[in-house]
Amino acid sequence: MANPALEQAIINKIRDKGIALPVLPDVALRARRIIDDPNSSAGDLVDVISQDPAIAARLIQVANSPMYRGGQHIDNLTQIVSRLGMRTVSQLIVSLSTQQLFHAETPTIKRIMRDHWAFATQVAALSNQIVKRHTRLDADQALLAGLLHSVGGIPVIVVAEDIPKLLEAPAVLSELVESLQSRLGGNIVKAWDFPDLFAEVIEHCGDLGYQHDGDPNYSDVVICAIAQAKGIYRTADDRPIMAAEKLGVDLESSMIDDELDEAIRALGG
């Protein structure tokens, strides 16, 4: 377990550097504004996407992945918006553009950040699949929740560049990321004015023992996705993972197949 004094020192350094609240990429902000404007059109959204060739290329790749593809290959943005709808495309733009937050300068931190993003894409693809198979929740929301579940770890990893001793102790850095990402991540998605469900997912997804009354929610979905990605079947004290039981997910049966691998690659860029 991470040292509380060290945790506070990291938080203080994050605040001093002004990186406590990473800014959502411009293309995502513009896409959200279009969706919120009742007078906007599909053409407006296509125009925004066209101005970011990297996102446009990724969007075409994801639209043709097992998560969304139909019987025909899509090769232009107008077709994507027509088939998937403006709201789904907007959600995908937000999802894909968040990779821009995962950047660093030093080789060590670049590798750690790349691994952090790779795990997030795996959790996102699994979350999307779990929702489609086991719930009536929104699959696009689940995808984004999976990607953002660990967004609070980004400032911790970034600030580690300034602490040589921390770079030399990857296990300690990993513990700090795990312990602080829920604390910081909720503040990030609230600052972005995202729906409360994302902050709730970030708050609960690190707790394999999480349980609640009522129907399954997005926290249950992301908890199951994390457990599946890590190959975990029970809690640390050998109890059932209640989120999996609520959803009817058999964690001992791997969901990772060729189609899921393709979806993960599409998300990962």
Q: Is residue 82 part of a domain?
A: no
- In angstroms, the CA 260 to CA 241 distance is 23
Mean predicted confidence (pLDDT) in 123-129:
96
pLDDT of residue 4: 84
How would you class 193 by CB atoms within 10 Å of its CB: exposed for 0-12, middle for 13-18, buried for 19 or more?
exposed
- In angstroms, the CA 185 to CA 20 distance is 9
> pLDDT higher for 106 or 57?
57
pLDDT of residue 269: 59
H or E element that contains 138: none
pLDDT of residue 2: 63
CB count in 10 Å sphere of residue 170: 13
Q: How far is CA 237 from CA 116, 187, 234, 240, 253, in A?
A: 26, 30, 8, 9, 21
Beta strands in the chain (DSSP E): none
Closest CA to 207 of 247, 170, 171, 178: 178
pLDDT of residue 228: 96
pTM listed for this prediction: 0.92
- The letter for the amino acid at 231 is G
Tell me the pLDDT of the chain averaged across its residues: 91
Give the pair of three-digit tokens for residue 144: 């984004």
Q: Is residue 28 part of a domain?
A: no
- pLDDT tens digit string along 66-102? 998 877 888 899 999 999 999 999 999 999 998 888 8
- pLDDT tens digit string along 228-257? 999 999 999 999 999 999 999 999 998 888
Give the torsion sign (CA, 106, 55, 28, 262). Answer: negative
Half-sphere exposure of 70 (CA within 13 A, CB side): 8
Q: Is residue 136 part of a domain?
A: yes
Q: Is residue 33 part of a domain?
A: no
- In angstroms, the CA 156 to CA 58 distance is 27
- pLDDT tens digit string along 135-144? 999 999 999 9
pLDDT for residue 181 is more than 90: yes
Closest CA to 195 of 243, 140, 155, 247: 140
Q: Which domain holds residue 156?
A: 4-21+102-268
Give the pair of three-digit tokens for residue 79: 């077709």
- In angstroms, the CA 26 to CA 258 distance is 33
Give the pair of three-digit tokens for residue 95: 């999802």
Mean predicted confidence (pLDDT) in 24-36:
93
* Lookup result for tokens 């994050």: 14
pLDDT of residue 127: 97
pLDDT of residue 105: 78
Residues 145 and 198: beta-carbon distance below 8 Å: yes
- pLDDT tens digit string along 99-114? 888 877 788 888 889 9
Q: Is residue 251 part of a domain?
A: yes
Q: Is residue 94 part of a domain?
A: no
CA 59 to chain centre: 16
Give the pair of three-digit tokens for residue 33: 């504004």
Residues 138 and 131: beta-carbon distance below 8 Å: yes
Which DSSP category does 136 fall into?
S
What residues form DSSP beta bridges with 234? 240
pLDDT for residue 1 is more than 70: no
What CATH number is associated with residue 110? 1.10.3210.10
The SS3 of residue 109 is helix
Percentage of the chain modeled with pLDDT above 70 = 99
How far apart are the two ends of the chain, measured CA to CA in Å? 33
- Indicate the number of domains in the chain: 1
Q: Is residue 27 part of a domain?
A: no
Q: Is residue 243 part of a domain?
A: yes
> pLDDT higher for 257 or 50?
50
